[in-house]
Amino acid sequence: MRKMYVVRLTDQERVGLQSVIKKLKGTGQKVRRAQILLKADTDGPNWTDERIAEAFSRRGMEVLVIRPCFVAFPEMADFMAGRPGPAGRAEPMPYLRAYVGPQDCARGFAAAATVDYAGFEIFFLAADDVFATEATVPRLQALYGATIPVRDPALYERFPRASPVSHAAARARLGWSPTTSWPPAP
């Protein structure tokens, strides 16, 4: 996943942040932010957002990560079918063709806001199918030019257009399941 904010610290900034941590200068929040910035530094450890979140969850913070796939609004049906998308939109087509409907996405976030959790958890929100007419596994193998590992071959035998993104954790812990399917009803 592409990072929205890239942290690239100068040597002087790095020394200043290390000083804040070592001498515990400022509030606990300031020290935590200094630690996070140092871990995210692209010229340093370059930790992913999830790795940083997981590390801080071990220190008593509760971190819940929700990863919706491509959020597909009804007006994007043409774009998702491979035709030109809505005027003024120039986003690339997602390779996996995994998606989630906006109502399903909202329900997933609402479910996550009410669940009891502690520590660190990740939930993917995805429809059961993909917005492609071809079977998922052969399409991805052609895309990547290699055989891909399939965790549940029986799923793709029963449902060839099944999503490659599993929402099993969201179903089990949040009681969430998608209601959207492709193609959308006219």
Whether residue 90 is predicted with pLDDT greater than 60 in this model: the reply is no
In a domain, 183, yes or no: no
Whether residue 116 is found in the same domain as residue 167:
yes
Whether residue 86 is found in the same domain as residue 160:
yes
Smallest CA-to-CA distance from 179 within 111, 94, 105 is with 105
In a domain, 99, yes or no: yes
Question: Range of 144's domain?
Answer: 61-174
Whether residue 73 is found in the same domain as residue 125:
yes
Whether residue 43 is found in the same domain as residue 66:
no
Instruction: Enter the pTM of the model.
Output: 0.71
Whether residue 39 is found in the same domain as residue 66:
no
Residue 178 pLDDT grade (very low, low, confident, very high; cuts 50, 70, 90): very high
Whether residue 163 is found in the same domain as residue 126:
yes
Into how many domains does the chain fold?
2
Whether residue 170 is found in the same domain as residue 105:
yes
Residue 60 pLDDT grade (very low, low, confident, very high; cuts 50, 70, 90): low
In a domain, 54, yes or no: no
In a domain, 181, yes or no: no
Whether residue 118 is predicted with pLDDT greater than 80 in this model: the reply is no
Whether residue 85 is found in the same domain as residue 133:
yes
In a domain, 179, yes or no: no
In a domain, 95, yes or no: yes
Whether residue 19 is predicted with pLDDT greater than 60 in this model: the reply is yes
Q: What is the pLDDT of residues 132-163, one digit of tens each?
A: 888 999 999 998 899 999 999 999 999 999 99
In a domain, 65, yes or no: yes
In a domain, 186, yes or no: no
Whether residue 84 is found in the same domain as residue 161:
yes
